[in-house]
Amino acid sequence: MLADRFALNPLVAAGSRIRFGPATGANASARPTVRELAILIVAGAAAAATVVIADMGLRIPGHAILRGVLFMALGIALVPRRMAGLVMGASAMGTAGLLSLGLHAGAGSLTSLLLLGPTLDLALWAARRSWQVPLAFGAAGLAANAGAFAVQAGLKASGFAIGSGKPLAVWLPTAIVSYTVCGLVAGLVSGAICFRFRPKAPRTSKQD
């Protein structure tokens, strides 16, 4: 059933640093609530708005993911359900599309943003230990930026001046490193902020 695909991910829920709503409880519903869906939609929209609108003043290829990944990590920490990344990704896609009507967003920035949600779902699905959950965010950030790098390199190779406008031969040596480092660091830092490497041990009452 479709509802089962949005079931609670117990491993992700146990490692979340943020306790919010019934999704983190033992009796969580198999169906996401309206509030949970709203949180994921807002998180995806916030990630897109930050990527498209905010300017960190950096001139580093692939740094756009630094602006959006934390919002998606917060979304999953608040709503630790399977396919949460897909919901946020769809919201980010719609928001970025609307904002791009009046604002310019680079192809690489949009690609990493749109890939981040699905790659988070895949990476978290593959996690089998609590310490792997924060690392999954690093893997997802790396994969999303690898896709962005491929798109940007392809456009430059085709003769398009995207982003900084540097030709491929000049852009490539720096971009290979910066896209990799930015994606990995953005994911790892966001994952570590929102998730524990070890689940918090339940409290036990002391008896005399």
Its domain, for residue 83, covers 3-194
Per-residue pLDDT of the chain in tens (208 residues, 90 and over written 9): 455 678 889 999 999 998 765 544 544 566 788 999 999 999 999 999 998 887 666 778 888 888 889 999 999 999 999 999 999 999 999 998 888 765 666 788 889 998 999 999 999 999 999 899 999 999 999 999 999 999 988 888 887 654 556 788 888 999 999 999 999 999 999 999 999 988 665 554 444 3
Q: Is residue 204 part of a domain?
A: no
pTM: 0.84
Taking the C-alpha atoms of residue 21 and residue 19, their distance in angstroms, rounded to an integer, is 7
Q: Is residue 72 part of a domain?
A: yes
Q: Is residue 200 part of a domain?
A: no
Q: Is residue 205 part of a domain?
A: no
What total of structural domains would you count in the chain? 1
Q: Is residue 81 part of a domain?
A: yes
